[in-house]
Chains A and B, each alone.
Chain A
């Protein structure tokens, strides 16, 4: 059995969290997210699950991870939005999935209302920014430590058996690299 390789698009503080990257790779491989996390998320196609099996052609998929607080900071999220909006709509729909990370609020999380409020905010944000891909809430706060200082893109490429991580703003050439994986 071949093991997954984790490659790094660029050095980044968050990349010290090897365990989260491996966890992401694990979840990706076994399609757990496709069954659970994306249920009920803001989506142009909420009925579709995230996974390689539904990606035509290329066996690559890209997750973009960002923090709730960045929604209220235009400059913070601008590089990520610029990247996502530059992707053709079919690529966004088929091969991009968003994950919104947020801090746990024990006082409000109990009845799920906090998550509902965030889902509503995400819905408005997605609509206003013309995003075509679904965004799931990281309700288990699995990725909190991974998205500490910057939004991230995780590229899973089944063809090359690799996981690559990129921090926003992307370095020159990184967008082309991601696009190459998603298109080929």
Chain B
């Protein structure tokens, strides 16, 4: 009993020391945000619950809306200029739209309950659905001809898959341990300009950088958590606490990590790391968000009002 008590005390101390040490460090980068655009309010019909966001080089903003099963296009001033989609599993339809990515010419949308990736052009015309059988936890654009998917693989390990617009797999990388418990291989992924990619595990305290040949360059635990809480659902142990919700890169290759339950300000704190994984700063968003996105002009997008509002912020480095 005594031994258990001591072990618990040590574990609690260790769990506290690591995150506290993070906050105790002096910020090496001072960063703030300035709101430049807000889309969706209580009294309009612009957004009911946005899930995925992407912006193109011309400043158009594309949003997936999970409550009216649609893909929407907004102009640079935030005016809704087109909306497509309805509930269903047919071409251009959605059941539970989730992730969105944007290349020079195309948009790639995923649906939580429908397999594959729906492809639209910039005028929101449905082009095709790229077949893909596994659940997708993130999607990024590598080029105008190739996309990168993070895919859960239970009972196989999770994989990063590079494929072309016809669904032909160009390369695959298994990033997690074989036989890992379900959902533990859920990741958010971000690609840098050199073809390296970063992974943030949703249900593990792990941030990693991998090179394009599939070698892990580093792995960081920023929260000091050994294991997240899990609950038993139909004989499967399923994690219930999100460590990291999303990651993205700014124009200078800094990694922005949206932290979940274990942050000082859950779902608002964004840890900013340099490419070697060193913590630079923490940015606290005004409202909770489920994801963050940085566009080509280095604007940051996040949620407000529980998802009926999309905010666009200018990043200000001091």
- Residues of A near any B CB (own CB < 8 A): 71-75, 113-114, 116-117, 120-121, 123-125, 127-129
Please measure, in the bound complex, the distance between the C-alpha atom of A73 and the C-alpha atom of B66, giving whole angstroms.
10
User: Main secondary structure on chain A at its contact with chain B?
Assistant: helix
Q: Which residues of B are found within 8 Å of A121, using beta-carbon distances?
A: 48-49, 67, 306-308
The chain A residue with its CB closest to the CB of B95 is A74
Tell whether A120 pairs with B96 under 8 Å between CB atoms, given A127-B68, A128-B87.
no
- Give the residues from 54 to 75 in chain B that come closer than 8 angstroms, CB to CB, to chain A: 65-70
Please measure, in the bound complex, the distance between the C-alpha atom of A113 and the C-alpha atom of B306, giving whole angstroms.
11
The chain A residue with its CB closest to the CB of B65 is A124
Q: Of the candidates A75, A113, A116, A128, which one forms a contact with B67 in the assembled complex, judged by CB atoms under 8 Å apart?
A: A128
Please measure, in the bound complex, the distance between the C-alpha atom of A72 and the C-alpha atom of B305, giving whole angstroms.
16
Tell whether A72 pairs with B96 under 8 Å between CB atoms, given A128-B67, A128-B86, A128-B87.
yes
Give, as a whole number of angstroms, the nearest-CB distance from B305 to chain A: 5
Q: Which residues of B are found within 8 Å of A74, using beta-carbon distances?
A: 95-96, 112-113
Please measure, in the bound complex, the distance between the C-alpha atom of A30 and the C-alpha atom of B317, giving whole angstroms.
62
Q: Which residues of B are found within 8 Å of A113, using beta-carbon distances?
A: 42, 305
Give, as a whole number of angstroms, the nearest-CB distance from B28 to chain A: 33
Is B305 touching A117 in the complex (CB atoms < 8 A)? yes
Give, as a whole number of angstroms, the nearest-CB distance from A24 to chain B: 27
Q: Which residues of A are found within 8 Å of B95, using beta-carbon distances?
A: 74
Please measure, in the bound complex, the distance between the C-alpha atom of A71 and the C-alpha atom of B68, giving whole angstroms.
11
Q: Nearest 7 CB-CB pairs, A to B?
A: A124-B48, A128-B68, A124-B67, A74-B95, A124-B68, A74-B96, A125-B67
Instruction: Output the residue of A73, A114, A124, A129 with the most chain B CB within 10 A.
Output: A124
* B45 contacts partner chain A, Cβ-Cβ < 8 Å: yes
Q: Of the candidates A75, A117, A128, which one forms a contact with B69 in the assembled complex, judged by CB atoms under 8 Å apart?
A: A128
The chain B residue with its CB closest to the CB of A73 is B96
- Residues of B near any A CB (own CB < 8 A): 42, 45, 48-49, 65-70, 86-87, 95-96, 112-113, 305-308
Is B113 touching A75 in the complex (CB atoms < 8 A)? yes
Q: Which residues of A are found within 8 Å of B68, using beta-carbon distances?
A: 124-125, 127-128
Is A129 touching B87 in the complex (CB atoms < 8 A)? yes
Is B48 touching A72 in the complex (CB atoms < 8 A)? no
Give, as a whole number of angstroms, the nearest-CB distance from A139 to chain B: 16
Is A72 touching B49 in the complex (CB atoms < 8 A)? yes
| 11 examples of A-B residue contacts, CB within 8 angstroms | A71-B67, A72-B67, A113-B305, A116-B42, A117-B308, A121-B306, A121-B307, A124-B65, A125-B67, A127-B68, A128-B68
Please measure, in the bound complex, the distance between the C-alpha atom of A120 and the C-alpha atom of B68, giving whole angstroms.
11
The chain A residue with its CB closest to the CB of B111 is A74
Please measure, in the bound complex, the distance between the C-alpha atom of A159 and the C-alpha atom of B147, giving whole angstroms.
62
Please measure, in the bound complex, the distance between the C-alpha atom of A127 and the C-alpha atom of B67, giving whole angstroms.
9
Please measure, in the bound complex, the distance between the C-alpha atom of A67 and the C-alpha atom of B113, giving whole angstroms.
19
Q: Which residues of B are found within 8 Å of A117, using beta-carbon distances?
A: 42, 305-306, 308
Please measure, in the bound complex, the distance between the C-alpha atom of A140 and the C-alpha atom of B11, giving whole angstroms.
41
Please measure, in the bound complex, the distance between the C-alpha atom of A115 and the C-alpha atom of B33, giving whole angstroms.
28
Give, as a whole number of angstroms, the nearest-CB distance from A102 to chain B: 11
Is A124 touching B86 in the complex (CB atoms < 8 A)? no
Q: Which residues of A are found within 8 Å of B70, using beta-carbon distances?
A: 128
Q: Which residues of A are found within 8 Å of B69, using beta-carbon distances?
A: 128
Is B87 touching A120 in the complex (CB atoms < 8 A)? no
Please measure, in the bound complex, the distance between the C-alpha atom of A113 and the C-alpha atom of B309, giving whole angstroms.
13
Is A123 touching B48 in the complex (CB atoms < 8 A)? yes
Please measure, in the bound complex, the distance between the C-alpha atom of A117 and the C-alpha atom of B308, giving whole angstroms.
7
Q: Which residues of B are found within 8 Å of A75, using beta-carbon distances?
A: 113
Q: Which residues of A are found within 8 Å of B48, using beta-carbon distances?
A: 120-121, 123-125, 128
Q: Which residues of B are found within 8 Å of A120, using beta-carbon distances?
A: 42, 48, 308
Please measure, in the bound complex, the distance between the C-alpha atom of A37 and the C-alpha atom of B269, giving whole angstroms.
37
Q: Of the candidates A71, A73, A114, A124, which one forms a contact with B45 in the assembled complex, judged by CB atoms under 8 Å apart?
A: A124
The chain A residue with its CB closest to the CB of B42 is A116
Is A72 touching B87 in the complex (CB atoms < 8 A)? no
Q: Which residues of A are found within 8 Å of B112, using beta-carbon distances?
A: 74
